[in-house]
Structure 1
């Protein structure tokens, strides 16, 4: 075989990219195609080890040249892709979506997007389909490897130049990474998927395969057997693995398979031929351009249409061909005559400029490009309580309205989302509203939190009795997203609750729900013994970001029903509604129910007169809370004077 071009490895690239593309386009039978990325990692690890150790052995290694070569390979097509996404986003994306794209462009060009996505939605979550540059996470992992692996290589080479010892060291480090990934796959799956420390073992496995090829050259038949067995392992993995807790130990199947094929150094019709060569050589460009096509199909809500799916696959390969011919090859030819230092400087300058453009988009979203009706739909300042930043925090104690405090509102961000509507419903003789609450908190005493960062929640809750003593007999309204904290009433013993009763269990179980119910009954009734108390039923929680989705539909003149089936709302809040009914039965507490206004017997509305009644998926907007003014006015008409 040609020593400078491995037909089998090029064919393996083709296998990897086909698996990924067919998985992302949701072709039946390729539900585990995501493992193609793991195969790419092994190939990269092998090639990097080959370049570095060959250079060290020959005394010709230049780190500057190494990094310049990596930049020439990766940056040009990636830069063009980022620019293309920014241009398309200018015309298609809402303010928040475009700001998010700007951040993703910045992180992709700085090769840190894997950690950006780690802080956002998981790779297999529905929300991931909205991220046009999601696939760049793997490029970031590879580049982090390129930065660190040469240093490891130099260190190991100084320690020993024997491939047997180098193989042992490489496998030992890979084992540590694999064990960390296996742990994270169970307890921190997103970290296992996106994090470099948990992915390094796959690249190091490729490096180990290189060292093994220097120690053992299998006979022709043995090499062919390894070739076929390696492909068989990849096919087996594609048939049996699932996204659950991936990569973990299951990733050994495709990665060991890739390593076996590399070690076999053989050929077959499964990796040799015009198609495999064409696809393998263009695998990087195909990979780069296919995901934005997938994301656009989801954006236009045609990702389930067979005709559009086929068109998307064809478009991915056409774009891959154009990118290869018009970007990859020309830049390689041109930069072949440019020194490594100049190449590095040029690439870094362009990348930084484009990253700065991404940051500028991230800061503002450039609202001037949007039609006025769309800008209004997604403007946070118009959708949210204007005093949210001031008042929605544990140390704050805000008064809405004028006069002495006539109502104490205790709660969280859901309470903040309706306080201005209550203020509008106030009669002058009632006075003002004292608001006490913080986002994500249950603002009542007697709880602990599993997140140490939520200590302010606990301190605020414990301060509520003293606060109420300052206003004897003043009515209290309690509003909180209790269904979220109670996991919708679902028992999941392996899942830790955000809040739990002090001294009780912290995992969702029969004991947790029993303790929580007893605590809630006791605490609310204690408040009701000294104050008139109202409880507000949970508001419907949508499955999408309503304001943003409505803006998207307006951008492309599409009509779409964003409402929620009433049965889903009732199921989500059944436990909390029953608990509130029990409180009413045991002590003098009254109920107000926004469902009467926001839902009919079939569905719960998401918009009213063309405006979003939610600013996201579960918080009422300043448009939506206006609908509840009659409800609050009726409540206040019954208020004790």
Structure 2
């Protein structure tokens, strides 16, 4: 355009047209990044601040499509130049942040954490982080706070859009369908939105991470570009219309920032409001009072200019603070972290992003982009080497130990069990030996936690341990609730546990049935408690009628601690690794009371309480010497299972009945 700076036109060797610079759009970027950073650092201040990402999507769709549509219209569009510009815009800051994340991770992360990080680095370099996170999403997935590259999912979605969208526009332009472009973009956006809203009900993780379900947000910006001329004509009918549209847009954004929170169904319809808000603000134009006086002001523009490096930097810094401390850092620390993020982002913008963005070489215009791409691939190669373990010898010894204690790999099922019981559709299926089981361990993930420690001891006594169960599955016939007291989302547990208990009843070789489950996290109503008692009585009666010995294992203490932090051995950090036993005791008291009431009517049932093994002298610790007894705040590690297993084995192979553990005192 005529008012582009001369220097910028000289840099562009192909004389490609760029959109006119609008300071108010940088100001809108500031709104987006401020909301995201505040949400991550102080979620109570902006509970819906995550919608800043949706605002970024609209801005990106608008600006990128403006470039593509204008250049395809004049026949000057070049895929090589387009992607070269994207590389020079995105890669420099990304390379530095990935190097930082890898270096710090090498110093403070345990091996399973570091292995996950290296996978995230590789997926981020190829802009597939959203797919990696989607593959990890599930019951045992680590907290999002503990993933330093979690935020790069949005960058991956954007880049995936940028790969396909230019191709689509060029094809439409080549087939003389340009006049129908707005309708085509509108149809795509509606299809993406409706599909995503439908998927949100059944698979919220898919709706959040999959690019074709978030594409409508970028397409909203593209549609604004395609219809901008008509929109300007409409807004020019009344001089006050642009001002109202901008104010309405900001109102929509502020509303969702404070009306939504991390538990709100999202994206779906909830994402419509920040997207519409961003569209309204951009459509209002740079001359609207709100845009001109506020968004285009120097403070907002400055923050907008550093929004990309600030987005890259703030989350790894906050995440590593959380990882090292093992808990949410103090408010003062988070304030310092945000300030540090802004300072590093500004330096990155001034010293790296801005100088490299326009660099090309006269004889080899693509050389700088190629060099950046090779550098990013080298980081991926370094991460792959780290993931393979070749750098373990150079890492602190404390971070390499306990590797098996911090992974669920191989704990859910084994081939022997799946081969023996192909018709039982359970999440957990473990069988120690390829022969008939003699002891059945049935229940949820807390029951499964015991398997690795108990199986060798059962085998040593000439028996064979079978473990069948599922996530949050109460170990009773026709369970009325999840094991922790929440209503069922699906009936998956009922089928799996009914099949497992039926196998225990009808298999004459199974002499002992061990039932275990998590404490009641949710307070049971009188009706729920009555239903749970009835289900347990039915289960006990059917097992007794089949002449099975019944052992019920009370829940082990859940400790609100991070076992990873307790093993980092950082001299300047002293994480909390021990808690008073009264707290975990109180948390599971409802379960103890219910089982004690049932036990009064079933004197031949053995109740095992692991509390006196895991908590001593009124204190519960996540560590035993240099070993972690927990994999997280709610599940035993392999060493933890081995630590408790002798107590369970004594109950199984002892001829006595009654209560074993603290409850017997």
For 1:566 and 1:335, locate their aligned partners in 2 and report how far apart those are by CA, in whole Å. 66
Distance 1:576 1:345, change over 3 A: farther
- Taking a change above 3 Å as real, the CA distance of residues 381 and 33 of structure 1, as seen in their structure-2 partners, is closer
Please identify, of 525-534 and 571-580, the stretch whose mean Cα deviation from structure 2 is larger: 571-580
Task: Report if the CA contact (8 A) 1:290-1:316 is conserved.
Answer: yes
Give structure 2 stretches of 5+ with no counterpart.
5-18, 421-429, 480-487, 658-665
Partner of 2:256: 237
Task: Give me the whole-angstrom Cα distance separating, in 2, the residues matched to 1:160 and 1:516.
Answer: 67
Pair 1:276 & 2:300 matched: yes
- SS of residue paired to 1:166: helix
Q: 2:509 aligns with which of 457, 461, 470?
A: 470
| Matching residue of 1:411 | 442
Q: For residues 300-325 of structure 1, give each alpha carbon's deviation from its aligned partner in whole angstroms, at most 9, with x where no partner exists.
A: 43854343233222211111122112
> 1:498 maps to which residue?
none
Aligned residues, how many? 607
In the alignment, the residues of structure 2 paired with residue 280 and residue 293 of structure 1 have an alpha-carbon distance, to the nearest angstrom, of: 20
The verdict on how the C-alpha distance between 1:632 and 1:462 changes in structure 2, with shifts beyond 3 A counting, is closer
Tell which deviates more after alignment, 586-595 or 341-350. Answer: 341-350
Alignment match of 2:635 (pick from 618, 623, 638): 618
**Does the alignment pair 1:134 with 2:159?**
no
Aligned to 1:528: 544
Q: Secondary structure at the match of 2:594?
A: helix
One of 22, 28, 33 as aligned partner of 1:6: 22
Q: Is the 8 A contact 1:130 1:295 kept in 2?
A: yes
Q: How many Å separate the matches in 1 of 2:46 and 2:555?
A: 41
Aligned counterparts of 2:403 and 2:581: Cα–Cα separation in 1: 24
Question: Unaligned stretches of 5+ in structure 1?
Answer: 492-508
SS of residue in 2 equivalent to 1:470: coil
- Report which stretch shifted further, 410-419 or 96-105: 410-419
Matched, 1:433 2:463: yes
Asked if the contact 2:578/2:619 (under 8 Å) is kept, the reply is: no
Structure 2 CA distance for partners of 1:416 and 1:348, relative to 1, 3 Å: same
Q: Which moved more, 1:515-524 or 1:59-68?
A: 515-524
User: Residue 629 of structure 1: which of 635, 640, 646 is its match?
Assistant: 646
CA distance in 1 between partners of 2:308 and 2:419 (Å): 50
Which of 295, 320, 336 pairs up with 1:311?
336
- SS of match in other structure, 2:212: helix
Contact map agreement 1:9 1:262 (CA 8 A) in 2: yes
* Residues 1:256 and 2:276 aligned together: yes
| Residue 113 of structure 1: how far off its partner (Å) | 0.9
1:127 and 1:66 map into 2 onto residues whose CA distance is 37
1:247 aligned partner: 267
Contact 1:407 1:433 (C-alpha < 8 Å) held by counterparts: yes
Q: For 2:615 and 2:650, how far apart are their aligned partners in 1?
A: 19
Change in 2 beyond 3 A, CA 1:457/1:427:
closer
- TM-score when normalising by structure 2: 0.79
User: Residue 329 in 1 paired to residue 368 in 2?
Assistant: no
Asked if 1:552 corresponds to 2:577, the answer is no
Assess if the C-alpha contact under 8 Å between 1:384 and 1:417 holds in 2.
no
TM score, norm. by length of structure 1: 0.82
Deviation at 1:89, TM superposition (A): 1.1
Distance in 2 between residues matched to 1:638 and 1:352, nearest whole Å: 63
Q: 1:382 to 1:29 in 2, by over 3 A?
A: closer
More deviation, 610-619/208-217: 610-619
In structure 2, what is the equivalent of residue 398 of structure 1? Answer: 432
Counterpart among 490, 511, 517 of residue 481 in structure 1:
517
Q: Distance in 2 between matches of 1:99 and 1:406?
A: 36
Shift of 1:392: 6.9
1:574–1:353: structure 2 CA closer, same or farther, 3 Å change rule? Answer: same
Q: Distance in 2 between matches of 1:337 and 1:533?
A: 81
Alignment pair present for 1:226 and 2:256: no
- Cross-structure match for 1:376: 401
Whether 1:24 aligns to 2:34 is no
The corresponding residue for 2:11 is none
Moved more, 282-291 or 125-134: 125-134
Task: Provide the rounded CA distance (Å) in 1 between the counterparts of 2:645 and 2:56.
Answer: 55
Query: 1:20 Cα shift?
Result: 1.6
Question: What's the CA shift for 1:331?
Answer: 2.4
Preserved CA contact (<8 Å) 2:405 2:631: yes
Residue of structure 2 in register with 1:358 after alignment: 383
User: What CA distance in whole angstroms lies between the structure 2 residues aligned with 1:440 and 1:27?
Assistant: 33
Indicate which of 61, 66, 69 corresponds to 2:82.
Answer: 66
RMSD: 4.0
User: C-alpha displacement at 1:153, in angstroms?
Assistant: 1.8
Deviates further, 574-583 or 377-386? 377-386
Indicate how the Cα distance of structure 1 residues 27 and 399 shifts in structure 2: closer, same or farther if over 3 A, else same.
closer
Moved more, 144-153 or 388-397: 388-397
Superposition map of 1:34-183 within 5 A: 34-120=50-136, 127-158=143-174, 161=177, 165-183=180-198
How far apart are residue 209 of structure 1 and its match? Answer: 1.0
Alpha-carbon distance, 1:328 to partner: 1.3
Note closer, same or farther for the CA distance 1:358–1:346 as it changes in structure 2 (3 Å cut): same
Do 2:578 and 2:620's aligned partners in 1 also have CA atoms closer than 8 Å? no
Counterpart of 2:143 in 1: which secondary structure? helix
In 2: Cα distance, 1:47 partner to 1:17 partner: 17
Distance 1:297 1:102 in 2: 19
